[in-house]
Each structure stands twice: as C-alpha cells, then as structure tokens.
Structure 1
C-alpha cells in the first residue's frame, strides 16, 4: 500500500488530498488565513482523520502553491502549473489545453498526451485576471461566492467595466451599485471582463481543443459561459475543478517517490519551487 499526500497553500484557499494507487481517499479545503504553517497542519490533520491514517502511513508528500515552503513536513515542493497539467490529463486524457483560474493569478496551459507542459501563459500581477476579483465583487454585493455564477445568468444588460485593474474595478463596482445597477448586471460584467483576460491568455499560447477549465472559479457557470462565448468553443469542467491541481500533485508525489536518488555535489538552490519536468515523466 503506497499512500501519497498533496498540500496546496493558496493565497485565499488551501486544500489537499490523499491518494492510494491513483484512488482518492480523502480531500479537504479551507480558507488559508494568515498563518500558512498552521493551515498546512490543519489540512494534514483533517486528511489523516478522514482517511483514518497516521502521519507515518504517508509514503510521500508534495507541497505546492504560494505558501508551499510553509508545508514543513513535505518531501518536495512542485510548481502548481505542473500539478494542474498532470491532474487535468488524468481526468480528461484527450485535453490539449486547460484554463486554470486561481486566487491571485490565472494560467493557460497546453499539454501533450502525457500531461507534460508544451506551452503556457500566466496572467499579469493585476488581480483582475484572477478569482480574487470575483471574491471582491461578491463581498461588495454581499453575496455568497458560490451563488454569483447562476445569478449572473439573469443579466440582460451586463455592466461594462472601464478598467482592467482589480482595485479600480472594486471602486467602479461600488459606484455602479450606487447608480442603481442590478447585482446580476454587475456580476455579468465582472464575468465578461475576466473572460476577456482568460481568452487573451488562451490565444497567446495558441488555442487548442479539447479545452478544459479548472480552479474554484470554474464552479462559476456564468464565467464558464462567458469564456466559451469569447473563445467560440465548449469547455470541459471537472465535477470538482478546485481539486484538479491536488490530483496532479498526488500523481507527481507517487512518481517522485520512486525516482532513483543520485548522489551529486551540492549546489546552491535559490528556487523553492521547480518548474522542470522530472526526467522519468
């Protein structure tokens, strides 16, 4: 029995999974908070409790995400872009591209039939190209984040946002509320603005089908439809898109754990997360 754990510490939410021979045994998601080390430990404890396991039962643990270096019990840190590519390949083996919307950034990844990255583009630092923009607007409108997708579909006149900056976009949303714009029109406008950024990323790396969408924002049906309209294609969305990266990391954990160790002269390493593909993949 080989058990593998993955922990993703994101800026807004964090989650993790435990797998055994490719089978999902447990998963857990929570708000990241301000203490990433405590968050990582909480996820680990919850996963072990759900799977009825002990820490020593886990063969290998991979950490990824913005706070990966705070997962002090991990065996290795891996870039989330690699994890996402491998995870979407496991779910949709024929997919050639995935649009991944994270809390602070978004990325479009082209993959081959093995889940290896062939090309990718990451959104600029501005949070308007990420899921955080949706969270900000949902808070302004005092709506649960999980409700904004379906609610936005009621819009008949989406608000046009004149700025691509999340900070100014927040101010603009407040102004539109004061002017009497409906919640559904504001939400539809936000989805449209984000969809335009995601579509631009997709075209930058070269649009390919089949194409999937992952990350928590993929639960926003309004956003998915806007992206489909912009790209003129159908998007495949996993049942639990927020765990795609988790699945990929668990797969990488298994592969990395069986990688032969070669003794070499130590060299300084200034990077906490590797973007390189392992030799055996």
Structure 2
C-alpha cells in the first residue's frame, strides 16, 4: 500500500483527497471560514476518516493553492496550474484544454497527453472573469448561488452586460432589477459575458477537440451551457470538479519520489 494525500487550499474552499497508488479512496471539501491553517487540518482529518486511515499511514502529502503555505506538517507543494493539469489528466485523459473557473481567477490550460502544462492563460485582474462575480450577483439578486444555473437556462432574452468590471457589473445588475428585468435574463447575461471572456482566453492557446471545465464554475449548469454555445463544443465535466487540483497535488508529490517516514 502507498497512501498519499493531496490538498488544495483555495481562497474559499479547502479540498483533500486520499489515494492508494492511483485509486482515490476518499475526499473532503469544506469552506475555509477565514483560517487556512484550520481548514487544511480539518479537511485532511475528514478525508482520512472517510478512508479509514490515520495520519501516520500516509507516505506522502502534496499541496497546492493559496493557503498551502499555512500547512505545518511535511508536504510537497506544487503550483495550482501544474496540479490542475495533472489532476484533470488523471480524471479525463483525453482532454487537452482545461477551463478552471475558480473564485479568484479563471485559467485556460493546454494539457499534454502526459498531463503537463503546454500553455496557460490566466485572467486574475478582475473578479468579473472569475467565480467571485457569480457570488456577488447571487447576493444582489437574492438567489442561492447553487440555483444560478437553473435560472439561467430558462432565460429567453439574456441581458447584455456592457462592462468588464465586477464592481460595475454589480451596479449594472442592480439597475436591471430596477428596470424590471427578469432575474433569469440577468443571470444568463452574466453567464454570456463570462463565456465570451473565457472564449477569448481559449483562442490565445488555440482550441482543441476535447475540452473540460473544472472548479466551482463547473457546478454552474448555466455557465457550462453558455460556454458550450459560445465555444461550439461540448465540455466534459468531472464528477466532482472541486477535487481535480488536490488529485494533481497528490500525484505530483508521489512522482517526486520523496517519502515521509
């Protein structure tokens, strides 16, 4: 048995996976609640409990994400882009373009057949291009963020957002509400704006036949469908989009051939 853990401690969510060789035994996902340190400890503890293991049984731990530097136990850290590339290659080996829509940024990664990064474009200058704008608009519209997709797919007339700034997008959404525009049309318009931005990013690395989406944005059916419409291709979605980075962290740590004893 060779047990390895992978942790992806993001700006909002902490994710952990436990693997035995190349098999995922368990995973855990939980909000950070303002503490990277506590989130990293708690998410690993829960994943270990689900796998029926204890910390001392782990051979190696791989980490990634904004909060990885707050982890105090021995670990091997790799970049988020590299871990996403490796993790998505594990989950969906045929994919060559990975679209990661996270809270802080959106990344488009071109992946080799071995799961390495061939090219990458990152949009992290403004929240309008990331999942953060979805959270902002959900609060403005008083719609649960998990229900945005269901609203969006019922829209028949998406609103056109004229701004690329999250602050102004919020203001614009409030104005649309005052004008009596339906919530579903506002949400669909936001999804359309995001999809156009992401498509422009994809064009920079050149589109491939097999594309996938991961991160929190992959759980938004409205965004996924709008992206498919704009890109003109079906998007593959992992069964659990949140854990691809953690899987990549575990695999890459093991490939460095360093074992903790």
8 Å CA contact retained: 1:63, 1:74: no
Task: Give unpaired runs (5+ residues) of structure 2.
Answer: none
Question: In the alignment, what sits opposite 2:137?
Answer: 137
Question: In the alignment, what sits opposite 2:80?
Answer: 80
Question: In the alignment, what sits opposite 2:252?
Answer: 252
8 Å CA contact retained: 1:7, 1:71: no
| Deviations, residues 108-137 of structure 1 (Å, cap 9, x unaligned) | 111111011111110132011111111111
Higher relative contact order (CA 8 A, sep 6+): 2
Question: In the alignment, what sits opposite 2:50?
Answer: 50
Please give the secondary structure, in 1, of the residue aligned with 2:118: strand
Q: CA RMSD in A?
A: 1.4
8 Å CA contact retained: 2:63, 2:246: no
- CA drift of 1:259 comes to 5.0
d(CA) in 1 for partners of 2:201 and 2:106? 9
Please give the secondary structure, in 2, of the residue aligned with 1:213: strand
d(CA) in 2 for partners of 1:220 and 1:250? 26
Structure 1 residues 41 and 206: CA distance shift in structure 2, 3 A: same
Question: In the alignment, what sits opposite 2:41?
Answer: 41
- CA drift of 1:243 comes to 1.4
| Deviations, residues 217-246 of structure 1 (Å, cap 9, x unaligned) | 111111111111211111111111121112
Q: Which runs of 4+ in 1 moved over 6 A?
A: none
8 Å CA contact retained: 1:159, 1:188: yes
d(CA) in 2 for partners of 1:67 and 1:97? 26
Task: Give unpaired runs (5+ residues) of structure 1.
Answer: 261-281
| Deviations, residues 139-196 of structure 1 (Å, cap 9, x unaligned) | 2222222211122111111111111111111121122112211110111011111111
- TM-score, length of structure 2 as denominator length: 0.95
Please give the secondary structure, in 2, of the residue aligned with 1:203: helix
The question of 1:198 aligning with 2:168 is answered: no
| Deviations, residues 24-71 of structure 1 (Å, cap 9, x unaligned) | 111111112211111111112211222222111111111111111012
8 Å CA contact retained: 1:25, 1:51: yes
d(CA) in 1 for partners of 2:72 and 2:161? 42
- CA drift of 1:204 comes to 0.9
Q: Within 5 Å, give how 1:143-154 maps onto structure 2.
A: 143-154=143-154
- Count of residues in Structure 1 that have an aligned counterpart in Structure 2: 259
d(CA) in 2 for partners of 1:194 and 1:91? 25
d(CA) in 1 for partners of 2:161 and 2:3? 47
d(CA) in 1 for partners of 2:132 and 2:74? 27
- CA drift of 1:211 comes to 0.9
The question of 1:219 aligning with 2:219 is answered: yes
8 Å CA contact retained: 2:102, 2:215: yes
d(CA) in 2 for partners of 1:195 and 1:117? 22
Question: In the alignment, what sits opposite 1:114?
Answer: 114
Question: In the alignment, what sits opposite 2:239?
Answer: 239
- TM-score, length of structure 1 as denominator length: 0.88
d(CA) in 2 for partners of 1:86 and 1:190? 30
Q: Within 5 Å, give how 1:14-25 maps onto structure 2.
A: 14-25=14-25
Question: In the alignment, what sits opposite 1:63?
Answer: 63
8 Å CA contact retained: 2:191, 2:223: yes
